[in-house]
């Protein structure tokens, strides 16, 4: 494919996401796999950028066209064009030329002329158009209005920084498998291998940050299981759980296994780790990840809402519930979330999260601990879920606040419940954790 190939694939993928398809599926259907490695990287970069800035681009296009049609191939292509002109170092003439070529191939010569005219007018009137986009919150911060309102309501002092963090390109975070290599030794290996510099943050013993990111395939030792990709926000959950050798542990929403692997690496002497998930495809990815790392767990396909179908009746010392959620803490990595989530999804997630806690609580030993973890920043899914659970189980459960140095360095201690990492704080994704203990003396 030509230089226009990346633009074509990115425009088709953006269009499909705006019509409701998942990002991975959209890229596949657009022919991403048929591009060369280099062009694949460019296509992903352009698609992510266009999705990230889509709400802003829509407003700009409203000033440039009579009847912009949201979720059309034309608008998606124009968004890919605007992203290149406004936020990349790609020379303007090359960006416009490639988009015009795609319009000719995908749509018609008349549409190609329109693409040329719109992108060139943007270049001429850029400051006026960008200033106009700054006047509305939705286009200034390039997020859907309902999400902005929820961030404002939940985080009156932080909503702007949450939105800004959601638009930033994330760094690459690694977790070094300490059973294989000391993180400091790995850092030196990286520096020696290719002079990549990476930060070793305080309070995150196995974490390394590489900024700007590099393809995982070029990481020394990746295929041999020396490192895994895991954001700093996600790395903070497992240490809070406090699993110890000899314990029986359940990872109830385990796939694709980031935290399962972290548990096995950091606590090698557990009696048993059951890694449960209800999605067979995602469990296959978990198995691949554990194989690569040379780790083993009791992998189990099952519904955490129906323990009777898979539980052997032996209680657990520790349970990790890394629940499905809105993923509003990881928007910078998955800008498609801005387009695929709806406000009505939030109460649905909150109900599912509460049901997961209620179903799994009886599986915990008296004195045992359950860690509730979500990559959300919305109080309905974070403190709201914990508050509701504690209210209903006042005699059976209490919240444990650990004064743990590493989590203190990273998280905002909440006055009500849990620990919240806000997106962008110390370059991490947003993540919420709360640790509950079953009051000793209550029945398992």
Ligand X SMILES: C[S@@+](CC[C@H](N)C(=O)[O-])C[C@H]1O[C@@H](n2cnc3c(N)ncnc32)[C@H](O)[C@@H]1O
Which residues participate in catalysis according to the annotation?
375
User: Which one, of 305, 316, 254, lies nearest residue 280 by Cα?
Assistant: 254
Minimum CB separation of residue 247 from ligand X in Å reads: 18
- For ligand X, the binding residues in 232-291 under the rule CB under 6 A are 253-259, 276-279, 282
CA–CA distances in Å: residue 232 to residues 147, 151, 208, 332, 352: 24, 22, 8, 14, 26
Taking the complex as a whole, the smallest distance from the CB of residue 293 to ligand X amounts, in Å, to 13
Pick the closest to residue 169 from 42, 311, 52 (CA basis): 52
430 binds ligand X (CB under 6 A): no
| Cβ-based neighbours of 283, under 8 Å, separated by 6 or more | 254, 255, 275, 277, 299, 301
Strands 364-374 and 431-438: antiparallel
Q: Specify the 3-state DSSP secondary structure of 278.
A: coil
Select from 160, 303, 387, 437 the one that contacts ligand X (CB under 6 A): 303
Q: How far apart are CA 180 and CA 89, in angstroms?
A: 40
Find the shortest distance in angstroms from Cβ 372 to ligand X.
Answer: 12
Q: Smallest distance, Å, CB 254 to ligand X?
A: 5
Both tokens assigned to 287: 């198995």
Taken in order 346, 284, 27, 126, is the CA torsion positive or negative? positive
The token pair at 183 is 């993180």
Residue 324 makes contact with ligand X by CB under 6 A: yes
Rounded to a whole number of angstroms, the minimum distance from the CB of residue 305 to ligand X is: 5
Structure tokens belonging to residue 413: 């201690």
Spatial separation of the C-alpha atoms in residues 223 and 205, rounded to whole Å: 22
Q: How far apart are CA 103 and CA 109, in angstroms?
A: 7
Question: Where do contacts with ligand X occur on this chain (CB under 6 A)?
Answer: 253-259, 276-279, 282, 303-305, 322, 324
């Amino acid at each position: 494919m030509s230089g226009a190939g990346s633009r074509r694939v990115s425009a088709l993928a953006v269009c499909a996401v705006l019509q409701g398809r998942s990002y991975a599926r959209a890229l596949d259907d657009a022919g991403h796999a048929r591009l060369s490695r280099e062009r694949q990287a460019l296509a992903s970069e352009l698609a992510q950028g266009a999705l990230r800035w889509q709400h802003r681009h829509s407003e700009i296009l409203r000033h440039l066209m009579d009847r912009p049609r949201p979720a059309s191939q034309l608008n998606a292509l124009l968004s890919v064009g605007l992203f290149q002109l406004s936020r990349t170092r790609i020379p303007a003439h090359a960006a416009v030329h490639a988009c015009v070529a795609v319009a000719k191939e995908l749509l018609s010569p008349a549409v190609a002329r329109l693409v040329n005219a719109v992108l060139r007018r943007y270049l001429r009137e850029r400051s006026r158009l960008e200033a106009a986009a700054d006047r509305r919150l939705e286009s200034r911060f390039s997020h859907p209005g309902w999400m902005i309102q929820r961030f404002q309501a939940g985080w009156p002092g932080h909503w702007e920084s949450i939105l800004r963090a959601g638009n930033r390109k994330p760094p690459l975070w690694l977790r070094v498998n300490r059973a294989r290599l000391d993180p400091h030794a790995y850092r030196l290996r990286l520096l020696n291998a290719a002079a990549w510099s990476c930060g070793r943050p305080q309070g995150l013993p196995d974490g390394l940050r590489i900024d700007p990111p590099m393809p995982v395939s070029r990481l020394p030792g990746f295929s041999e299981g020396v490192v895994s990709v895991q954001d700093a926000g996600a790395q903070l959950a497992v240490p809070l759980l406090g699993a110890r050798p000899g314990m029986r542990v359940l990872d109830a929403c385990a796939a694709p296994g980031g935290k399962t692997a972290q548990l096995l690496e950091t606590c090698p002497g557990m009696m048993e780790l059951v890694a449960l998930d209800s999605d067979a495809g995602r469990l296959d990815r978990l198995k691949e990840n554990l194989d690569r790392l040379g780790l083993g767990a009791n992998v189990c396909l099952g519904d955490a809402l129906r323990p009777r179908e898979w539980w052997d009746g032996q209680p657990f010392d520790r349970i990790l519930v890394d629940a499905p959620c809105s993923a509003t803490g990881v928007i910078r990595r998955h800008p498609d979330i801005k387009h695929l989530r709806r406000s009505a999804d939030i109460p649905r997630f909150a109900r599912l999260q509460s049901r997961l806690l209620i179903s799994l609580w009886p599986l915990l030993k008296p004195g045992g601990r359950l860690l509730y973890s979500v990559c959300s920043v919305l109080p309905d899914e974070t403190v709201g879920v914990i508050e509701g659970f504690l209210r209903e189980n006042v005699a059976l459960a209490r919240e444990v606040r650990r004064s743990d140095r590493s989590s203190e360095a990273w998280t905002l201690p909440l006055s009500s419940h849990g620990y919240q990492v806000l997106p962008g704080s110390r370059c991490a994704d947003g993540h919420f954790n709360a640790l509950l203990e079953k009051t000793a003396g209550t029945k398992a």
